[in-house]
Amino acid sequence: MTEHAILTVCGLTKQYAPGQGCLDVNFSLHPGEVLGVVGESGSGKSTLLRCLGGHIGSDHGVINYHNRDGQQVDMCQLMPAQRQLLLRQEWGFVYQHAHEGLRMQVSAGANIGEPLMNNGKRHYGEIRETAMRWMRDVELDARRIDEYPCAFSGGMRQRLQIARALVTQPRLILMDEPTGGLDVSVQARLLDLLRQLVSQLQLAVVIVTHDLAVARLLAQRLIVMRDGKIVETGLTDQVLDDPQHPYTQLLVSSILTP
């Protein structure tokens, strides 16, 4: 690709104990690209995502981000207030459990509108109209704008969280098992929605999942992690159809074996 990478990660390391965390992780991500991070529980994929999202600090490494102004900044070197501002304005995070990404004590409309207010929007009517539009975009009934998240089903709450994450038009989205815990039919509808939004908005996405079917549907490229390290990377179809590392072969065979 000739376009600048929106995100370049070099030597990112966060260790809790030997074999726990992530170790010397390197990758790049371009606008409009979806990168899947797969591996078993404890492989380090969630630690990697939490480091990227600023939920935990790394031991060392570089997270270079190409921002809206065309500047390259090392997220690890920013002051906490600068980092949080940039994350709020240009990044989004979708949690596996929607209640972590929503404010359960306020309405659906307030959940979507709050990020807009945090970014300087003040016109109530415009914020409400934007919230209703986003509810429709994620296939929620906009007439339920004043209902609280607890009144929605699990799949609906996940779609509400996605609307909250995308309403500020971020350039980069981090997703942690976004279809985990949902039944198969709800998963399918949510995956279709995510594919549509990623394509329409030209989002750069890092998605962590243990589900290789989800990775195949959403990601153009894959990273396979084990014991905190990347053991294989490449185009998604290439990695899943012709895995080279024994661990990747085991992962792929485990979903094919009844």
Assign 257 a pLDDT band (cuts: 50, 70, 90): very low
Those residues whose C-beta lies under 8 Å from the C-beta of residue 194, and which sit 6 or more positions away, are 162, 175, 178, 218
- Do 203 and 251 sit in the same domain of this protein? yes
The 10 Å Cβ neighbour count of residue 75 is 21
Mean pLDDT of 105-127: 93
pLDDT at 233: 98
C-alpha to C-alpha distance for 158 and 98, rounded to whole angstroms = 5
pTM: 0.93
- Do 154 and 178 sit in the same domain of this protein? no
- Do 36 and 162 sit in the same domain of this protein? no
C-alpha to C-alpha distance for 170 and 34, rounded to whole angstroms = 14
- Do 157 and 178 sit in the same domain of this protein? no
pLDDT at 255: 65
Q: Is 202 exposed, middle or buried (0-12, 13-18, 19+ CB in 10 A)?
A: exposed
Domains held by the chain: number: 2
Examine the fold and report which residue of 146, 169, 192 is the final residue of a domain before the chain moves on: 169
- Give the DSSP letter of residue 4: P
User: SS3 letters for 142-162?
Assistant: HHHCCCCHHHCCHHHHHHHHH
Those residues whose C-beta lies under 8 Å from the C-beta of residue 247, and which sit 6 or more positions away, are 224, 226, 231, 232
Average pLDDT, the chain: 92
The answer to whether residue 79 is domain-embedded is no
The 10 Å Cβ neighbour count of residue 99 is 13
Weakest-pLDDT range from 64-73, 100-109, 249-258 = 249-258
pLDDT at 180: 81
Q: What percent of the chain has pLDDT over 70?
A: 97
Mean pLDDT of 237-244: 96
Please give the structure tokens belonging to residue 1. 């690709």
The answer to whether residue 32 is domain-embedded is yes
Predicted confidence (pLDDT) per residue in 178-205, tens digit: 888 788 888 888 888 888 888 888 899 9
Tokens 């630690």 correspond to 47
Predicted confidence (pLDDT) per residue in 124-172, tens digit: 999 999 999 999 999 999 999 999 999 999 999 999 999 999 999 999 9
Mean pLDDT of 72-99: 92
Residue-number span of the structural domain to which 228 is assigned: 1-6+26-63+171-258
The answer to whether residues 48 and 225 touch, using CB atoms and an 8 Å cutoff, is: yes
DSSP, collapsed to helix, strand or coil, labels residue 153 as: coil
- Do 148 and 207 sit in the same domain of this protein? no
- Give the DSSP letter of residue 168: T
Assign 1 a pLDDT band (cuts: 50, 70, 90): very low
Of 135, 137, 86, 89, the residue nearest 111 (C-alpha): 135
- Do 247 and 208 sit in the same domain of this protein? yes
- Do 161 and 203 sit in the same domain of this protein? no
Mean pLDDT of 226-238: 96
Q: What percent of the chain has pLDDT over 90?
A: 74
* Radius of gyration, alpha carbons of the chain: 18
Residue 36 pairs in a beta bridge with 207, 222
Residue 17 pairs in a beta bridge with 20
DSSP, collapsed to helix, strand or coil, labels residue 187 as: helix
Residue 256 has pLDDT above 90, yes or no: no
Predicted confidence (pLDDT) per residue in 2-48, tens digit: 468 999 999 999 998 777 899 999 999 999 999 999 999 889 999 99
Those residues whose C-beta lies under 8 Å from the C-beta of residue 126, and which sit 6 or more positions away, are none
pLDDT at 3: 65
